[in-house]
Amino acid sequence: AQKVTQAQTEISVVEKEDVTLDCVYETRDTTYYLFWYKQPPSGELVFLIRRNSFDEQNEISGRYSWNFQKSTSSFNFTITASQVVDSAVYFCALSEGNSGTYKYIFGTGTRLKVLA
């Protein structure tokens, strides 16, 4: 069955600390996509990154980095030198499917609070 688990409900860090948000997924498909979205207080979900199941290279974008490990079914997200503006709820999502029919589900989210 398709499932996304974000075990950390809420994390609080002090500005400039590094923080890692965990995401563990379950799927029976060999082809799937993983995503991270940010939901600031305004409510709009903002797409951050997409990874397909065949690309295990880690990715860095500015202060953001993502660690994809198929062996542990994890797709963790690290923010380096966190800032107050990073405060938001972060969602991990999984899309799997074949023959053009996709199932896309979100985890329950991790609320990140960055304190000044």
Partner 1 sequence: EAGVAQSPRYKIIEKRQSVAFWCNPISGHATLYWYQQILGQGPKLLIQFQNNGVVDDSQLPKDRFSAERLKGVDSTLKIQPAKLEDSAVYLCASSSDAGGNYGYTFGSGTRLTVV
Structure tokens at 8: 């950390």
Residue of 26, 69, 70, 102 interacting with partner 1 (CB under 8 A): 102
Rank residues 3 and 16 by Cβ distance to partner 1 and give the closer one: 3
- Report the amino acid identity of residue 24: V
Q: What are the tokens at 97?
A: 């499917």
Q: CB-based contacts of 3: which residues, under 8 Å, 6+ apart?
A: 25, 26, 27, 94, 105
Structure tokens at 71: 């062996």
Segment 28 to 57, residues that bind partner 1, using CB under 8 A: 33, 35, 37, 42-47, 50, 52
Using the rule CB under 8 A, is 105 a contact of partner 1? yes
> By CB under 8 A, what part of segment 52-91 binds partner 1?
52, 91
Least separation in angstroms between CB 70 and partner 1: 17
- DSSP code, position 78: E
97 is a contact residue toward partner 1 (CB under 8 A): yes
- Whole-angstrom distance, CA of residue 68 vs CA of residue 59: 9
| Residue 107 binding partner 1, by CB under 8 A | yes
User: CB of 76 within 8 A of CB of 6?
Assistant: no
Binding site for partner 1 (CB under 8 A): 4, 33, 35, 37, 42-47, 50, 52, 91, 93, 95, 97, 100-109
